[in-house]
């Protein structure tokens, strides 16, 4: 597997670690005005779906894409609502893993060096995935910091 796609796989491995998170902590905001762990998982899953279903085809064709093809705030709110809809933790984790796995499997047959444009910026599909990996890492770091603080406060 391409090293970029292997990095993209790190999120899947991390999700399995979250199965051990207590349900009360799972749904608690990680900080004042922030999402819960559950909402972060749903957030990444919904953006994976957006990438696969909305963005990727135009990227593969090397198209000029608009900066955004969805209302990001509305999509994030919908993901948070879904995470807090009563869905079981393991079900959400399984859905998030399947979404990312499906995306990675699709990407294995894609030329990752294909260039496309968003606004004035030219990038490759690989560049985009690297940005997504950085996004994953940002949220994984937030979650880890929250879990360490929560564990230390009890």
pLDDT, averaged across the chain:
94
Q: How many residues does the chain have?
A: 154
Dump pLDDT digits (tens) for 46-59.
999 999 999 999 99
Residue 67 has pLDDT above 90, yes or no: no
Please tell me the predicted confidence (pLDDT) of residue 154: 57
pLDDT category at 151 given cuts 50, 70, 90 is confident
DSSP string, the chain: --HHHHHHHHHHHHHHHGGGS-HHHHTSBSSTT--BHHHHHHHHHHHHHHIIIIIHHHHHTT-EE-S-SS-HHHHHHHHHHHHTTT--HHHHHHHHHHHHHHHHHHHTTS-TT-EEEETTEEEEHHHHHHHHHHHHHHHHHHHHHHHHHHHHT-
Please tell me the predicted confidence (pLDDT) of residue 1: 64
Residue 116 has pLDDT above 90, yes or no: yes
Is-contact 65 131, C-beta < 8 A? no
% pLDDT > 90, the chain: 88
Please tell me the predicted confidence (pLDDT) of residue 152: 75
Residue 79 has pLDDT above 70, yes or no: yes
Is-contact 133 48, C-beta < 8 A? no
Dump pLDDT digits (tens) for 103-114.
999 999 999 999
Dump pLDDT digits (tens) for 82-97.
999 999 999 999 999 9
| Nearest alpha-carbon partner for 50 in 64, 70, 35, 65 | 70
User: b/e map of 3-22 (b: 16 or more CB within 10 Å)?
Assistant: ebbebbeebbebbeebeebe
Please tell me the predicted confidence (pLDDT) of residue 91: 98
DSSP string, 69-114: SS-HHHHHHHHHHHHTTT--HHHHHHHHHHHHHHHHHHHTTS-TT-
């Amino acid at each position: 597997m391409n090293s970029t796609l292997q990095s993209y796989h790190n999120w899947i491995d991390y999700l399995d670690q979250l199965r051990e998170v207590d349900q009360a902590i799972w749904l608690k905001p990680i900080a004042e005005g922030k999402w819960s762990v559950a909402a972060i998982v749903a957030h990444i899953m919904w953006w994976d779906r957006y990438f696969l279903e909305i963005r990727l085809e135009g990227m593969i064709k090397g198209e000029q894409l608009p900066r955004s093809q969805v209302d990001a705030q509305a999509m994030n709110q919908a993901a948070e609502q879904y995470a807090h809809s009563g869905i079981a933790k393991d079900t959400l984790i399984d859905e998030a893993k399947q979404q990312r796995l499906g995306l990675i499997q699709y990407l294995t047959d894609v030329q990752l060096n294909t260039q496309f444009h968003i606004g004035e910026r030219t990038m490759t599909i690989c560049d985009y995935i690297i940005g997504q990996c950085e996004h994953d890492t940002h949220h994984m770091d937030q979650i880890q910091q929250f879990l360490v603080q929560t564990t230390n406060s009890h």
